[in-house]
Amino acid sequence: NAGVTQTPKFQVLKTGQSMTLQCAQDMNHNSMYWYRQDPGMGLRLIYYSASEGTTDKGEVPNGYNVSRLNKREFSLRLESAAPSQTSVYFCASRRGQDPNQPQHFGDGTRLSIL
Amino acid sequence: GENVEQHPSTLSVQEGDSAVIKCTYSDSASNYFPWYKQELGKRPQLIIDIRSNVGEKKDQRIAVTLNKTAKHFSLHITETQPEDSAVYFCAAKAGGTSYGKLTFGQGTILTVHP
What are the DSSP calls for chain A, one per residue? Answer: ---EEEE-SEEEE-TT--EEEEEEESS--SEEEEEEE-TTS-EEEEEEESSTT--EE-S--TTEEEEE-SSSBEEEEESS--GGG-EEEEEEEE--SSSSS--EE---EEEEE-
Mean pLDDT of chain A: 93
pLDDT of residue A44 exceeding 70: yes
Question: Could B100 and A99 be called an inter-chain contact, meaning their C-beta atoms sit closer than 8 Å?
Answer: yes
CB contact under 8 A, B104 and A31: no
- Across A88-107, average pLDDT: 88
CA B37 to chain centre: 9
Asked if A89 reaches chain B (Cβ–Cβ under 8 Å), the answer is: no
Please indicate whether, in this complex, the C-beta atoms of A48 and B42 are within 8 angstroms of each other.
no
Judged against a pLDDT cut of 80, whether residue A76 lies above it is answered with yes
Cross-strand bridge partners of residue A36 = A44, A89
Query: In terms of C-beta density within 10 A (0-12 exposed, 13-18 middle, 19 or more buried), how is residue A105 classed?
Result: buried
pLDDT confidence band for B81 (50 / 70 / 90): very high
Q: Does residue B37 or residue A51 have the better pLDDT?
A: B37
* Percent of chain B residues past pLDDT 70, beyond the cut: 96
Residue of B101, B103, B108, B109 for testing the chain A interface, max A β-carbons within 10 Å: B101
Question: HSE-up of A78 (CA within 13 Å, CB side)?
Answer: 26
Sorting pLDDT into bands at 50, 70 and 90, what band is B98? low
Identify which has the larger pLDDT, A12 or A99.
A12
